[in-house]
Chains A and B, each alone.
Chain A
Amino acid sequence: MKVLIIEDERTLAREMMIFLEKAFYLCDKAYTAKDAKKLMIENEYDFILLDLGLPDGEGLELLDDTKRMCPNASYIIITARGKLEDRIKGLDLGADDYLPKPFSLLELQSRMQAISRRKSGNNDPVLELGDFNIDLNKRIVRFEEKEIDLSRKEFDLISYMLLHKNRPLTRLQLSEHIWGNFSDDDYDSNYIDVHIKNIRKKMVAYAPVDWLQTLRGIGYKIKI
C-alpha cells in the first residue's frame, strides 16, 4: 500500500510516516501543494492524506485537482480547522474520511483499514485471534461455530486492539476510540478495565485468552 502524506508541518509528517511504515505502508511526504502534484504525476497512490491548511493553496482546491490525477486513491482529509462546513465540503468533493487534528495515529490507521475493507469487497474480513474468529463486517466473534455475545463497545474494543496487535495500547487511546470526542480521561480508563474484564470473562469460557495481556500502569496489548 502506497501512501502520500501532504502536510506542511514537517514533524507531524515525519511522525505519521514513522508510524505508517511500521505498519508496512510505503510512504511519501509532500510539504506543499506543488510538491504533492509533482509526486502524484510520478507515482500511483492507494492513500492520500491531505492537510487542508497548506502554505501554497487551499487544500480543498488541491483535493479537486488530485481527484483527477489519482482517481483510484482513497482520500483522508486532515485538518485543524474542524469546521463543519469544511468537513461537509471535503466529503462532497469525494474525500473518503475526515480526521480533525489532533488525531491519534492509531485512529488514522484504523480509518485507513476501514476504507480499504470498504473498497475491496473481496478482502476477507474474518480475522483470526487465537482460537477465535472475528468477522469485522458482521461484527461477530466466533469460537468454532459458536457466537460469543459481546456488546457493541466490547466488539469495538477487541477489534481495535486486534487491528493494532502487538502494540501497547494505553487506556486513554482505547477510551478515545470507544468514546470519540466524548471520552473523559481518568474516568473512562476505569470503564476500559471493566470492558476488558467482561471480554475476558466471556471469551475464556471457550478458550484461553493468553494473547490479551495487561500492561501494568499503562493499558493492554494483544500479542499474537
Chain B
Amino acid sequence: MKLLTKLTLFITLSKMFIVIFFVLLLPYLVSLVSFRYTNYYLLQQKKKVIAEIDKNGIDYYLQGDSTYASYTMLKEEYISLVPATSNNIRDTIETSRRIVETDTLNYRVLIHELIDSNKNYILEIGKTTSTIGEYNNLLRRFTFYILIGLIVISVLVDLVYTHILLRPLTKIVRTKLLNRKFPFVEKLSPIKTSTTDFKFLDDSLISLMEKIHEAFEKEREFTSNASHELMTPISILQTNIENMMMEEDISEDQQERISGMMKTVNRLKKIVHSLLYISRIENDQFAKSDILEVRELSLEVMEELSPRIETKSIHFTNNISSGIKIKHVNRDLIFQLLYNLINNAIRYNRESGSIFLSDHYIPGKSYTVMIRDSGIGIKQEELETIFNRFKKSGKNKGEGYGLGLSIVKSIISFHGFDIKVTSEYGEGTIFNIIIPVEMVERED
C-alpha cells in the first residue's frame, strides 16, 4: 500500500474514531455539567432565601401556618418550609420525586435545616430535571453537527497537505527508482524540497547511484585494461612461437615441443577470452534489444556445427517450432548459449549418437527449449557443480566442461532465464532452458 493511501486511511479513521467516541460520551458529559450547574444554582438560591428570611423574619412567610410552599407557574421550581421532625439534618442535594398539586415531577432538591426562634424547619428548594434533559438533547445534536463539519474540513485539509508534503517523495520514487535501468548512465538532478528527510533521502540516492555508476565504470575499464594487459603478452608469445615453428634448422622433436607450447598458449588464450567474456556479460555490456526466432537461430547454430555433427555421424533432430520469437535478448549471446550447449552435446556424444532439439510453449505460462543428447551423461553428484568455473568432470581429465557452461550460466542469468539439467550417467543429458513467457511472441 502506498504511503499516501496509508496516511489518508489513518487520518480519516482516527478522526472518525474520535467523533464516535465523543458523541457516545456526550450525554454523560452534558448531564454532568448540567447537574453541577443545577447544584450551584440551588446553593445560590438557598443563600438568597436565607437572606430574605433573615431580613423579613420567618413569620412573614408562614403567615400563621406551620408550613410554606411556593412554586412558579409551570412548576419548574418550588420552595417549601416545613417544621423539622428530627434534628441535625445535613445539607443535601438529591434527585427525587415530588408531587406538586396534581403533577408528579422529578426535581433536583436542596434540603437545608433552618433554625429560627428555637424552632427547626426544613427548607427545600427544587428545580425540575426535565428542562435539563431538553437542553441535553439539543446540545448533543448541535455538537454532533459541528463536529462532523469540523472533521470533514480537517480531513480535507490534512489530505491536501499530506499530498503536498509527500510530493517530493513521489517524485523521488518516480524519477530515481522507477524506470531506472542499471547502470544509471544519465546524470540525476536533485529534487527541490524543504523537508530535510526527503532531501537527505534524495541526496543519498543520488550519491549511491553515482557510486554504483563509478564502480561499474571502473569495472568496465578494468575489463578493458585487463584484456589489453593479458592479451598483449599472449600475443607476443603466440607470434614468437609461430616464428620458431618456421625455423628451417629445427628437429622434428623440437617442432613437436613447439607445437605443444602453441597448444598451451592457446589454452591460456581461451581461458582469458572466456573470463573476459563472462565478465563482460556480468557487467551488462551487451544490449538486450534483439528479437529473434528461436528456430531460425538454432538452424544457424546447427549449420555452424554441421561439420562436427557429420564427422561424428550424429543423428540430429530439430523439432523447435517456427514462428516463436523471443524479445529483449542479445542475439550474439543467445547464439553462443545454443552453440555451447549443442557443441557440448556433440562433444560428449558417442559415435553415431543422437541430439534432439525441441520446445514447449504454453501461452501465458511458460516457454522451454530442450536439448537432449545420447552422450556420456553427468553423474548425479556432479550435476550441481557443472556450471561452476573451472570445475571438471572427474572422469574426463583434460577434457572438462571448462568455461563453456559457466558462459552458458552467465548468459542465462543475464537474460533472466532459468536452466535445468537432468542426466542419466552413460545414457545422456537433457538441458532445459526456461524463458519467461513475457519475452515470448508467437506469430500466426
Cα distance, A218 to B163, chains bound together (Å): 79
Q: Are B256 and A217 in contact (CB under 8 A)?
A: yes
Q: Which residues of A lie under 8 Å from residue B308 when comparing CB positions?
A: 191
* Contact pattern, A 166-197, Cβ under 8 Å of B = 1, otherwise 0: 01101011001000011011110011001100
- A82 smallest CB distance to B (angstroms): 6
Q: Which residues of A lie under 8 Å from residue B240 when comparing CB positions?
A: 11, 15
Cα distance, A218 to B252, chains bound together (Å): 9
Cα distance, A102 to B235, chains bound together (Å): 4
Cα distance, A105 to B242, chains bound together (Å): 7
Nearest residue in A to B307 (C-beta to C-beta)? A153
Nearest residue in A to B273 (C-beta to C-beta)? A181
Q: Are B239 and A168 in contact (CB under 8 A)?
A: no
Q: How many A-B residue pairs have CB under 8 A?
A: 104
Q: Are A102 and B269 in contact (CB under 8 A)?
A: yes
Q: Are B224 and A104 in contact (CB under 8 A)?
A: no
* Contact pattern, A 10-47, Cβ under 8 Å of B = 1, otherwise 0: 01100110110010000000000000000000000000
Q: Are B236 and A185 in contact (CB under 8 A)?
A: no
Which of A83, A106, A167, A216 has the most chain B CB atoms closer than 10 A to its own CB?
Answer: A83
- B247 smallest CB distance to A (angstroms): 10
- A24 smallest CB distance to B (angstroms): 14
Q: Is A103 an interface residue (CB 8 A)?
A: yes
A98-135: which residues lie under 8 A (CB-CB) from chain B?
A: 100-106
Q: Is B246 an interface residue (CB 8 A)?
A: yes
Interface size on B, residues (CB 8 A): 37
Q: Are B243 and A168 in contact (CB under 8 A)?
A: no
A198-223: which residues lie under 8 A (CB-CB) from chain B?
A: 215-219
Q: Is B238 an interface residue (CB 8 A)?
A: yes
- A95 smallest CB distance to B (angstroms): 18
Q: Is B267 an interface residue (CB 8 A)?
A: yes
B245-294: which residues lie under 8 A (CB-CB) from chain A?
A: 245-246, 252, 255-256, 259, 262-263, 266-267, 269-270, 273, 276
- B259 smallest CB distance to A (angstroms): 5
Q: Are A172 and B255 in contact (CB under 8 A)?
A: no
Q: Is A72 an interface residue (CB 8 A)?
A: no
Q: Are B238 and A151 in contact (CB under 8 A)?
A: no
- A158 smallest CB distance to B (angstroms): 14
Q: Are B224 and A81 in contact (CB under 8 A)?
A: yes
B residues whose Cβ falls under 8 Å from a Cβ of A: 224, 227-228, 231-232, 234-240, 242-243, 245-246, 252, 255-256, 259, 262-263, 266-267, 269-270, 273, 276, 304, 307-308, 311, 339, 343, 347, 398-399
5 contacts across the A-B interface (CB closer than 8 A): A11-B236, A12-B232, A102-B237, A181-B273, A182-B304
Q: A104-B238, A167-B245 are in contact. List 9 more A-B contacts (CB 8 A).
A: A15-B236, A15-B243, A16-B239, A18-B243, A102-B269, A170-B259, A172-B266, A186-B398, A219-B259
Nearest 3 A/B pairs, CB to CB: A102-B235, A15-B239, A80-B231
